[in-house]
Amino acid sequence: MSRAAIAELLRAGYGDRTIARQLNVTAATVTQTRRELGLPPARAGNKPAATVEELFWRRTRPIDGGHLEWTGHRSSKGVAAVKWQKTDHTARRIAYRIRHNTDPTGYAHAVCDYDGCVAPAHIADSATVPRKGRPGASRKPNGSRDQIVALLRQGHTDQAIRKALHTDAKRVARIRKEEGLPPAPQRIITFADKWAANTAPADDGHLRWTGRLRDGVTPSLVYRGREYSARRAAFEEHYRREPVGLVLPGCDWEPCVRPDHLEDRTIRQALTAQYDAIFGDQAA
Ligand SMILES: [Zn+2]
Ligand SMILES: [Zn+2]
């Protein structure tokens, strides 16, 4: 993300966290840029949003993959929306305007696979990009009842079926109820799943990080909605304790993230003490 974009929003008076969300960078990056530019901190407290777009950014949370989750209000129909100057605006329309500087002709809809995404880059106008599973003006829902029942019996979640058949999750839920089927168990994403998805073996038994890098340097992963240093998280998982001080690879390969190659200050001090005990006298 360009420094210029951060600088522009800083000068416009936005708070660091709002800018971080908008540009998908960390708040620390924004704060550092603010310092480098010699700009004063944004006024603290609950300053009222200056624009409906600012309100939009305050009510979103970035998700891996450039998606944006809506954390704000939903209408009775489940549509992400904000009230601004006594009018309701849907989050998707605001997102579309942020990106295109104009209102969509048709419906604003997400073109990615993240359910409920409101990332401006992922929102399209149905007049130019047809909505998936909505050919023409047909209002007939996708997926036959039989197809839905079959998938329900196989134990899929409503959301998984919605995605598979490009149909409406509420309809799936209704059919589930009518068929007297219990809700599907939600698959829990474990740390091991996350770890496996973000690492790859490297030469000589080391492990390479393939996931995201915070500020372009530090391996980091979002797990249960929080951002962690990948090395700290791996250290904790492996040693079952919190690391003391910096966690660094103790092997000679700087990018390594292999859990049993990682050392915290306690381990480094213990190793130094052992080394001194063995070689200290000879060295002296
Ligand atoms: Zn998305
Ligand atoms: Zn290593």
Residue pLDDT, tens place only, 63-107: 888 899 999 888 878 889 988 888 888 999 999 998 888 888 888
Q: Are 223 and 211 in contact (CB under 8 A)?
A: no
Q: How many structural domains compose the chain?
A: 4
Give the separation between CA 201 and CA 212, rounded to whole angstroms.
16
**260 within some domain:** yes
- pLDDT of 140: 62
Nearest listed ligand to the Cα of residue 262: 2
Q: Same structural domain for residues 30 and 71?
A: no
Residue 35 shares a structural domain with residue 81: no
Mean pLDDT, to the nearest integer, of 234-243?
A: 92
Same domain, 42 and 76: no
Flag whether 226 is in a domain.
yes
Number of CB atoms found within 10 A of residue 71's CB: 11
Domain limit, last residue, from 154, 169, 187: 187
**From ligand 2's centre to the CA of 221, what distance in Å?**
19
Interval 110-127 mean pLDDT: 90
User: Does some domain include residue 284?
Assistant: no
Do 147 and 205 fall within a single domain?
no
Determine the 3-state secondary structure of 111 from DSSP. coil
Per-residue pLDDT reduced to its tens digit, 150-172: 999 888 888 888 888 888 888 89
**pLDDT tens-digit readout, 35-74:** 888 887 776 555 677 788 888 988 888 888 889 999 988 8
Could you tell me if 196 and 271 lie in one domain? yes
Do 156 and 121 share a structural domain? no
Domain of 24? Answer: 1-47
* 59 located within any domain: yes
Distance (Å) from CA 190 to ligand 2 centroid: 23
- Give the pLDDT confidence score for residue 105 in this predicted structure: 85
> CA-to-CA distance for 12 and 4, rounded, in angstroms?
12
CA–CA dist 66, 217 (Å, integer) = 18
Domain boundary among 15, 31, 47: 47
121 C-alpha vs ligand 1 centroid, how far in Å? 8
Tokens of 34: 């603010």
Q: Does position 136 have pLDDT exceeding 50, yes or no?
A: no
What tens digit of pLDDT does each residue of 179-237 get?
A: 898 887 766 678 888 898 899 999 999 999 998 888 788 899 877 677 889 999 999 98
In a domain, 254, yes or no: yes
Distance from C-alpha of 233 to C-alpha of 198, rounded to nearest angstrom: 13
Q: Give distance in angstroms: CA of 141 to centre of ligand 1.
A: 23
Do 196 and 258 reside in the same domain of the chain? yes
State in Å: Cα 261 to ligand 2 middle.
Answer: 5
Same-domain check for residues 158 and 141: yes
CA 92 to centroid of ligand 1, rounded, Å: 11
Same domain (yes/no): 201, 245: yes
Same domain, 197 and 274: yes
**Longest Cα pair distance anywhere in the chain, in angstroms?**
86
- Judge if 84 and 145 occupy the same domain: no
The CA 259 to ligand 2 mean position distance, Å, reads 8
Q: Are 56 and 33 in contact (CB under 8 A)?
A: no
**How much distance in Å is there from the Cα of 263 to the middle of ligand 1?**
37
| Cα–Cα distance, 254 to 274 (Å, whole number) | 23
Q: Above 60 in pLDDT, residue 148?
A: yes
